[in-house]
Amino acid sequence: MKIMCVFLLIAVCFGCGGYSSPSTPATPQPGVVPVIAELSPDNTNAGGPAFIMTVNGTSFASGSIVKWNGTNLTTTFVTAKQLTADIPASAIATSGTVPVTVTNPAVAGTGGPYGNGGTTAATSMAVNFTVE
């Protein structure tokens, strides 16, 4: 019994080291990367009027932003599988191919005893939109 108590005391003493504060803050881990499956519509005529584009895919977050050639668009979160974005007439004034991406926002860390640093923003692969 004494040997068991001594062993338990030693185990508890050595095990306490894990509760100290980390010496360096944790590095934020990447957020969930959204995936675009489809743009609807995926093309339009140059010089046309403004319209709303639907972006279907997966892993969209509340606060996701649709980007048109790197420029943020006014975006509405519908579900984790669908967003809508306002495309202004000025964005389709001339013909060409435009890369469209979705960026999920960064999430602030909560700190805490284990140094939760949150996540960084994550951007999808580009899907091309054609302006004819």
| 26 falls within a domain | no
Query: What confidence score (pLDDT) does residue 116 get?
Result: 61
Q: Does residue 109 contact residue 31 with C-beta atoms inside 8 Å?
A: no
Query: What confidence score (pLDDT) does residue 109 get?
Result: 67
Task: For residue range 21-45, list pLDDT tens digits in order.
Answer: 444 444 344 478 999 999 999 999 9
d(CA 119, CA 132): 38
Kindly tell me the burial class for residue 11, based on how many C-beta atoms sit within 10 Å of its own C-beta (0-12, 13-18, 19 or more).
exposed
Query: What confidence score (pLDDT) does residue 107 get?
Result: 79
Supply the range of the domain harboring residue 124: 33-131
| 17 falls within a domain | no
CATH number of 70's domain: 2.60.40.10
| 103 falls within a domain | yes
Residue 119 pLDDT class (50, 70, 90 cuts)? confident
Q: Does residue 26 contact residue 45 with C-beta atoms inside 8 Å?
A: no
Domain count, the chain: 1
Q: If you count them, how many residues does the chain have?
A: 132
Instruction: Quote the mean pLDDT of the chain.
Output: 82
Q: State how far the alpha carbon of 50 is from the alpha carbons of 87, 89, 92, 93, in Å.
A: 6, 4, 8, 10
- Helix and strand numbers (H, E) in the chain are 1, 13
